[in-house]
Amino acid sequence: MELLIMINACKTASARRVTAVIPCFPYARQDKKDKSRAPISAKLIANMITVAGADHVITIDLHASQIQGFFNVPVDNLYCEPAMLSYIKIHIPDWKNSIIVSPDAGGAKRATSIADRLNLDFALIHKERKKANEVSRMVLVGDVNGKIAILVDDMADTCGTLKMAAETLIDNGAIKVYAIVAHGILSGGAIDVINDSYLEKLVVTNTVPHDDKKHICSKLDTIDISSTLAEGKMFT
């Protein structure tokens, strides 16, 4: 609401152009109907931002790329991938003995892209959900025995999936497990779940503020993506 009010205030003050920079797009996971009469909230948010008067939207790692089509104004969807690659090379010892793992089939494209650029192997975890935010069981596809497993995902909410994925990887012979995530929502008891997991580190970008959580979770690390946003705005 604050964003919509500020956009509208700028427009009524005769601003020539208004660009909304939204690092973590709200309601991005509700991009389609998963059951009858369910709302497509991402479309509603897009309509509200457009009607408020935004001429251009810049965001980072949309949960689903088709959200760009919900807008009638230009949308720049920037990616965290270069920053993730840099972190892996600098901060993960012996990263050449790693394997990139996607915790679900939906993130396979992102994980294979990173694996290809690092010239590493790729594995996939198939998960079955009982209901939203609750995973019933996981099946690993790929060989992680004797390797450092790096989980790559776009969002960490309750972190239950990452905890179960780390357990599955350790059970299948992985030496260590790291998780690198674009958006660290970290809602509810996520910090307790991380502290109680086999994860060496959970690395998130600062699209969502989490400095207060770092004091109570030594496993939490941050990738700063402010330079990515600044560069994106410079060329628009």
Query: For each of the chain's 236 residues, which pLDDT tens digit applies?
Result: 999 999 999 999 999 999 999 999 999 999 999 889 999 999 999 999 999 999 999 999 999 889 999 999 999 999 999 999 999 999 999 999 999 999 988 889 999 999 999 999 999 998 776 666 666 678 899 999 999 999 999 999 999 889 999 999 999 999 999 999 999 999 989 999 999 999 999 999 999 999 999 999 999 999 999 988 888 876 66
Predicted local confidence at residue 95, as pLDDT: 95
Q: In angstroms, what is the C-alpha Rg of the chain?
A: 19
pLDDT at 163: 93
Predicted TM-score of the model (pTM)? 0.90
| 113 class by beta-carbon count within 10 Å (0-12 exposed, 13-18 middle, 19+ buried) | middle
The predicted pLDDT at position 34 comes to: 85
What's the CA gap between 97 and 123, in Å, rounded? 14
At residue 235, the pLDDT reads 64
Q: For residues 110 and 166, what is the distance between their CA atoms, to the nearest angstrom?
A: 18
Query: What is the per-residue pLDDT for 230?
Result: 87
Residue 236 to residue 234: CA distance in whole angstroms = 6
Sheet containing 220-223: give its strands across. Answer: 134-141, 121-131, 98-102, 148-156, 176-184, 201-205, 220-223
Predicted pLDDT of residue 105: 85
